[in-house]
């Protein structure tokens, strides 16, 4: 995936970004003048760290043994501690929590149930048990839902969380979803663009879109979002061009990759957007007991000690990554132990501090 030299490099090969502003939404709202959930993940101090759900370690040897003993099907996560862990993440100073949208558990072709719960129901639950972190989706599959229902559900989650929602959106790539719903798979790119336009319009006052660029002023969407503009972050490319993404999205969430790949992707995003918006990636972390243990790469991440992980985070910051979502499903250590080490050793090194207001 990447070499130890790439992890520890701090030289001129990396483009340094002095600030992480996230100032303007793609729809023109000045996010410097109005509170935005993007402010929670884009900070002047540099790269921020989030946690990707589910909070289990089923992909480790110990986790696989527990899954088998529990009688859970392969791919269905252990959610027994998720409430406790989410509260720990919220109180410790992490910037965000992220969840995936998996409407149907395909045990044969995909083998991953995500976080099991319906994504919008789960957003409401997480809004109620947290007070500090951004709540992000990575990502809602837009073309398989009517945009009016997405607009209302997202506005509800944003209002309930007091403006902490970051709506990650995608076109979807699971082969069973579209046929099950009787929808055309090939037109998903066009439907994605239509949904984005509808969401932007529905969240603004002045009625609801009714087609042909018309609005019906007697219709309204309740509740109104807490944010003036809920940030929209595209996961992957969603069948869209770079130009469309830069013009219409407030951020881009890309698959984990090596430094060379992320340098090119982050460079393209920031070249198109300047200091506006957020560039986000992920990392599947198995945090070693030995803080100096070098990286042993695995799919989408590595087993690595915290000192070498900090080197990698510094490299990501230098190439323009604003936020990294960490998945702990491969962790050979207990989840709470790893969260504590990340909170006490990694977050302070990134300039993060525990929030003044703790989760209830």
Q: Report pLDDT digits (tens) over 298-337.
A: 999 999 999 999 999 999 999 999 999 999 999 999 999 9
Total-model pTM: 0.90
Q: Residue 320: helix, strand or coil by DSSP?
A: coil
Q: How high is the pLDDT of residue 21? A: 56
Q: How high is the pLDDT of residue 29? A: 57
Q: Which residue has the higher pLDDT, 213 or 10?
A: 213
**Could you tell me the two tokens for 298?**
């695995």
Residue 212 has pLDDT above 90, yes or no: no
Other Cβ atoms less than 10 A from the Cβ of 323: the count is 30
Residue 356 has pLDDT above 80, yes or no: no
Count of helices and strands (H, E) across the chain:
12, 13
Spacing of C-alpha 318 from chain mean position: 20
Average pLDDT, the chain: 89
Give 251-286 as a 3 state SS string: EEECCCCCHHHHHHHHHHHHHHHCCCCEEEEEEEEE
Rounded Cα–Cα distance for residues 38 and 166 (Å): 7
Q: Give 27's contacts (C-beta < 8 A, 6+ positions apart).
A: 200, 229
Peptide bond into 139 cis (omega under 30): yes
Looking at residues 147-176, what average pLDDT do you find? 95
Rounded Cα–Cα distance for residues 250 and 47 (Å): 17
Best CA proximity match to 115, nearest among 93, 92, 85, 91:
85
Alpha helices in 9-118 (DSSP H): 38-41, 61-70, 82-92
Tell me if 86 sits within 8 A of 56, measured CB to CB. no
CB-based burial, 157-176: b 16+ in 10 Å, e otherwise: bbbbbebbbbbbbbbbebee
In this predicted structure, which of 9-23, 25-39, 182-196, 259-273 has the lowest mean pLDDT?
A: 9-23
Alpha helices in 161-187 (DSSP H): 177-180
Other Cβ atoms less than 10 A from the Cβ of 349: the count is 13
Tell me if 313 sits within 8 A of 271, measured CB to CB. no
In the chain, pLDDT over 90 holds for what percent of residues?
Answer: 78
Q: Residue 197: helix, strand or coil by DSSP?
A: helix
Which helix (H) or strand (E) segment is 191 a member of?
Answer: helix 188-202
Q: Give 327's contacts (C-beta < 8 A, 6+ positions apart).
A: 51, 52, 282, 283, 284, 285, 300, 301
Rounded Cα–Cα distance for residues 315 and 302 (Å): 15
Per-residue confidence band for 3, with pLDDT thresholds at 50, 70 and 90: very low
Rounded Cα–Cα distance for residues 127 and 177 (Å): 27
Tell me if 357 sits within 8 A of 91, measured CB to CB. no
- Phi, psi angles (nearest 5°) of residue 279: -110, 125
Q: How high is the pLDDT of residue 358? A: 43
CB-based burial, 87-117: b 16+ in 10 Å, e otherwise: bbbbbbbbbbbbbbbbbeebeeebebbbbeb
């Amino acid at each position: 995936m990447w070499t130890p030299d790439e992890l520890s490099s701090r030289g001129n090969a990396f483009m340094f970004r002095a600030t992480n502003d996230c100032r303007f939404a793609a729809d023109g709202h000045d996010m410097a003048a109005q509170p935005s959930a993007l402010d929670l993940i884009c900070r002047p101090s540099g790269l921020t760290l989030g946690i990707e759900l589910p909070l289990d370690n089923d992909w480790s040897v110990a986790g696989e043994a527990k899954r088998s003993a529990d009688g859970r099907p392969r791919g269905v996560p252990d959610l027994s501690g998720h409430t406790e862990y989410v509260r720990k993440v919220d109180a410790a100073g992490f910037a965000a929590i992220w969840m995936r949208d998996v409407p149907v558990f395909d045990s044969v072709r995909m083998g991953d149930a995500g976080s099991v719960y319906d994504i919008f129901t789960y957003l409401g639950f997480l809004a109620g048990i947290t007070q500090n972190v951004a709540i992000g989706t990575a990502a809602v599959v837009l073309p398989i839902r009517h945009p009016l229902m997405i607009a209302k559900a997202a506005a509800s989650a944003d209002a309930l969380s007091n403006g902490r929602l970051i709506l990650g959106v995608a076109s979807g790539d699971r082969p069973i979803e579209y046929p099950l719903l009787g929808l055309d798979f090939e037109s998903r790119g066009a439907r994605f663009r239509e949904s984005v336009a509808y969401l932007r319009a529905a969240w603004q006052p002045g009625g609801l879109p009714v087609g042909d660029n018309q609005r019906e002023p007697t219709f309204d969407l309740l509740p109104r979002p807490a944010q003036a503009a809920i940030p929209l972050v595209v996961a992957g490319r969603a069948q869209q061009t770079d130009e469309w993404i830069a013009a219409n999205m407030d951020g881009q969430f890309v698959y984990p990759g090596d430094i060379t790949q992320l340098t090119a992707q982050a460079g393209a995003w920031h070249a198109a957007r300047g200091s506006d918006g957020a560039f986000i990636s992920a990392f599947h972390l198995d945090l070693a007991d030995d803080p100096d243990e070098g990286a042993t790469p695995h799919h989408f991440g590595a087993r690595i000690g915290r000192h070498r992980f900090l080197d990698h985070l510094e490299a990501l910051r230098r190439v323009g990554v604003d936020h990294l979502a960490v998945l702990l499903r491969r962790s050979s250590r207990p989840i709470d132990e790893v969260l504590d080490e990340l909170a006490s050793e990694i977050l302070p090194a990134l300039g993060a501090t525990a929030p003044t207001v703790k989760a209830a």
